[in-house]
Amino acid sequence: MRSTLRSLTRRGLLTGTLGSAALLATAGTLAGCGTKGAQQTEAGCKSDDLSATEKKLAFSNWPQYIDVDEKDESKRPTVDDFGKKTGIQVTYTEDINDNNEFFGKVQNQLAGCQPTGRDIMVLTDWMAARMIRLGWIQKLDKAKLPNVDANLLGSLRNRSFDPDRQLAIPWQSGLSGIAYNGKVAKEIKTIDELLTKSELKGKVTALSEMRDTMGLLLQSNGHDPSNFTTAQFDDALAKLKRAVDSGQIRKFTGNDYTQDLNKGDIAACIAWSGDVIQLGFDNDKIKFVVPESGVMLWSDNMLVPNKATHKANAEELMNYYYDPAVAAKLAAYVNYICPVKGAQAEMEKIDPDLAKNPLIFPDEDMLSKSKVFMALDEKQEKEYEAKFQQVIGA
């Protein structure tokens, strides 16, 4: 149950009451108020750092995204150890349940250069990119992040929305690829097989998160999802529409595909790696496949918002979690891709089986096939989401 909740809350980004329509509505609200008014600059919205005199830190994260003491779930060992080591008191709050919902919580303050009461918040790539685009995030002092500089995975070093790693530090990462149930389907190697194999007709689901589904289709057409044109997006969308119109795809889902896949009600799907790890603990017929054309890599990122008053304390915590021994403790609990080099060797001391899991510690071959979805501007975000929603029938 812990793992199912974790995946549902974090990666069910565009499902439920705050679906993609909410994303479009939120973008529309910004546009309606005038993006110019929402936009901030470093010079125009200055933040004071009180870390030297205030040894405290407010950390907002998603539910079930931190290690806990199995005997006393009120204790979070790595957070507690950080406090003992540094003397910094961390107020840790699990108040991020959906990227759009959280955006709605903080947008008025950040648009108006007002404090949110948070020193670190953890948001998914595309939302991090939006907030960076709006000028709502403080630049980090890289000199205070030596562990990050030394240990961040190479595949996460040059992301389009933060190429210099000055604004967003990955907390955990994951892959979007193909999953299938070996009880009811043979191995699937490509996106084209998923979308055209006759024996899978009506037994396939895809994700309602545009960046995951469309990223994989762009790759299957030989295009780069980290740098594509509108024509290339439309080309991939046409392929998706053919699969919808033919009945190959049964529906588009958030995390709720997991139950149907586990039972064999669907044979195969576009899936998130963390879900497949958890399903595999109880059902060894569930397999994750890196498509021959490539896989999508996403991250949830630590960000320091404007007007946060403990940036140096936040940087100290970020650097702490990039110690491989600390990162391994966290990864052993959350089971997503650990973004920290050296953590795999440390995991050997904790759980040798997890240390061998390529969905937690991908090898260079897998990472070389991964792409991060291109950062979109406001116009592109609205245009691509609208086109995608029209095809999936949302």
pLDDT of residue 16: 34
pLDDT of residue 23: 42
- pTM for the structure as a whole: 0.82
Could you list the mean pLDDT of each consecutive 10-residue stretch along the chain, which spans 394 residues? 35 37 44 59 94 98 90 92 98 90 94 97 94 96 98 91 94 95 96 98 94 97 96 98 98 89 97 87 93 95 98 98 98 92 96 92 89 91 95 85
Domains 56-172+300-342 and 174-297+375-392 share a fold: yes
Question: Biggest alpha carbon distance in the chain?
Answer: 66
CA 30/CA 135 separation, integer angstroms: 14
Tokens of 21: 């329509």
109-154 pLDDT, tens per residue?
999 999 999 999 999 999 999 999 999 999 999 999 999 999 999 8
Domain ranges in the chain are: 56-172+300-342, 174-297+375-392
Residue 329 has a CB neighbour count (10 Å cut-off) of 19
In one-letter notation, the amino acid at residue 157 is: R
Residues sharing a CB contact under 8 Å with residue 365, sequence separation 6 or more, in sequence order: none
Q: What is the CATH number of domain 174-297+375-392?
A: 3.40.190.10
Q: How far is CA 236 from the centre of its chain?
A: 22
* CATH 3.40.50.150 applies to domain 56-172+300-342: no
The DSSP secondary-structure symbol of 88 reads: P
Residue of 35, 38, 59 whose CA lies nearest to 108 = 38
Q: Kindly give the pairing relationship between strand 249-253 and strand 204-207.
A: parallel
